[in-house]
Amino acid sequence: MRELLRKPIWPLAALLLLNLAVTPSFFAVHVQDGRLYGSLVDILHNGAPLAITALGMTLVIATRGIDLSVGAVVSIAGAVTCTWIASSPDPASPGAAIAGIGLALGLAVALGAWNGFLVARLGIQPIIATLVLMTAGRGLAQLITDGQIVTVNNATYSGISGSALLTVPVTVLVAAAVYALVALVTRRTALGTLVEAVGINPEASRLAGVRSRTIVWTVYVFAALCAAVAGLMISANVHAADANNAGLWLELDAILAVVIGGTSLAGGRYSIAGTLLGALTIQTLTTTIYSVGIPPEVSLVFKAVVVILVFLAQAPKVRALLARGRRPAGPQPPPPAAPVPGGPVTDVPVEKTGSSR
């Protein structure tokens, strides 16, 4: 929570306040047919695929990589599952849905391992290694669906997106579970530190005995798995697989979410809470565009302007310029205390992030 507070929460807060000003009932939440409804629930529900994809992307970026292929994996996952269900002997049975989902997740592991192979084993730049799958992947998805939009009518499959457990939509629960799991595994074990070490200096961490290759493989497989889960949610939501449009530009939104959350594209230190915040900010932005009544034609411009503002405000250079302009009037920051010989070393405050000011 403390980590969350240090992150740039103001864009999200500003957007929510804007919504509240336009629609006073924006924060209202009510239960209907055993499921929560309301704008905030919608943001969480619709933002779940992006949040999950961005989580996988966070770990990839932390190892100084990038995964451009997640949008293609989203479309492949939906295509495989829907085609499998549609061609099974009983397209409405739970068994067909489960087998299809298993197939999609298995394929995602293979695709992620492929990316990992190119990056970790062959040492190809991540941006270009994943560009291969980004370009070819959507073609593969179209190959699987034969260029058609495959529609399925399977209660189990639509349940991924439509059902609710204890009034909370399953998508939100799944996203929360994945976030909790990753936070636990990377923050309570050494894995998170190892990921950061690989991102900060792959060679040094290899020499220090970190299995950088295995870690890089793992994060790409995990990113593809996350993308596949997101793809299943997206496809289950519309009961169909649209190889052309499912997850289109999702990789860009995911990267934006990660960077808004304060993780540098240069690798190293990463923030899971920040990514969640970034994903919610982007989803809230989309929702705001609809709810405030911004004409759809201006929505992309609005999005671009918000993104530019957020990044300008976060850029260290801009902050430095602003601080310099303000310094004569404002209070001077205290000079760093000189180390006292023999004094308590443990009390020295450690500047954790450059952007936390």
Partner 1 sequence: MTALVERVRDVRRVPTRFLPVIVTFALFVLMFAGGGLRYDSFASGQVLLNLLIDNAFLVVLAVGMTFVILTGGIDLSVGSVVALSTMVAAALLRAGWPPVVVMLAVLAGGALFGLAMGAVIHYLEIQPFIVTLAGMFLARGLCYVIDLQSISIEDPLFRTIAQTAVPLGEELFLSPAALVALAVVAVAVYVLHMTRFGRTVYAVGGNQQSAMLMGLRVAQARVGVYVISGACSALAGLLFTFYMLSGYSLHAVGMELDAIAAVVIGGTLLTGGSGFVLGSVLGVLVLGTIQTILSFEGTLSSWWSRIVIGLLLLVFVVMQRVLARRGAAR
Q: Which residue among 166, 317, 324, 328 contacts partner 1 (CB under 8 A)?
A: 317
Tell me how far, at minimum, the Cβ of 256 lies from partner 1, in Å.
7
Instruction: Provide φ and ψ at 258, rounded to 5°.
Output: -65, -45
Paired tokens of 97: 């849905």
Q: Which residue among 17, 28, 185, 312 contacts partner 1 (CB under 8 A)?
A: 312
64 sits near partner 1 (criterion: CB under 8 A):
no
Alpha-carbon distances of 309 from 105, 281, 303, 306, 334, rounded to whole Å: 37, 13, 10, 5, 29
Q: Strand, helix or coil at 89?
A: coil
Please, which residue, 188 or 317, has the CB nearer to partner 1?
Answer: 317
305 sits near partner 1 (criterion: CB under 8 A):
yes
| Cβ partners under 8 Å of residue 99, min gap 6 | 84, 88
Alpha-carbon distances of 52 from 36, 172, 244, rounded to whole Å: 21, 10, 21
Per-residue binder mask for partner 1 (CB under 8 A), 116-155, x = binder: --x---xxxx-xxx-xxxxxxxxxx-xx---x--------
203 sits near partner 1 (criterion: CB under 8 A):
no
Paired tokens of 307: 């993104």
Please, which residue, 105 or 144, has the CB nearer to partner 1?
Answer: 144
Q: Provide the residue type at 299 as one letter.
A: S
Tell me how far, at minimum, the Cβ of 57 lies from partner 1, in Å.
13
**Whole-angstrom distance, CA of residue 52 vs CA of residue 143:** 26
296 sits near partner 1 (criterion: CB under 8 A):
yes
Task: Report the DSSP beta bridge partners of residue 188.
Answer: none
Please, which residue, 157 or 217, has the CB nearer to partner 1?
Answer: 217
Q: Which residue among 33, 297, 347, 351 contacts partner 1 (CB under 8 A)?
A: 297
**Whole-angstrom distance, CA of residue 193 vs CA of residue 320:** 29
- Which residues in 228-257 contact partner 1 (CB under 8 A)? 252, 255-256
Tell me how far, at minimum, the Cβ of 54 lies from partner 1, in Å.
14
**Binders of partner 1: how many residues, by CB under 8 A?**
45
Please, which residue, 95 or 123, has the CB nearer to partner 1?
Answer: 123
Helices (H), the chain: 2-6, 10-22, 39-62, 70-87, 94-116, 126-145, 155-162, 170-188, 191-200, 202-207, 212-237, 250-260, 272-291, 296-314, 316-326
Tell me how far, at minimum, the Cβ of 147 lies from partner 1, in Å.
6
299 sits near partner 1 (criterion: CB under 8 A):
yes
Q: Which residue among 190, 300, 323, 348 contacts partner 1 (CB under 8 A)?
A: 300
Q: Which residue among 55, 105, 223, 259 contacts partner 1 (CB under 8 A)?
A: 259
Please, which residue, 180 or 301, has the CB nearer to partner 1?
Answer: 301
**Whole-angstrom distance, CA of residue 177 vs CA of residue 85:** 26
20-29 CB contacts, 8 Å cutoff, 24+ apart: 22/291, 22/292, 22/293, 23/291, 26/291
Please, which residue, 37 or 302, has the CB nearer to partner 1?
Answer: 302
Please, which residue, 219 or 285, has the CB nearer to partner 1?
Answer: 285
172 sits near partner 1 (criterion: CB under 8 A):
no
Element (H, E) at 150: strand 150-151
Instruction: Catalog residues that contact partner 1 under the rule CB under 8 A.
Output: 66, 118, 122-125, 127-129, 131-140, 142-143, 147, 252, 255-256, 259, 265, 296-305, 307-308, 311-312, 315-318
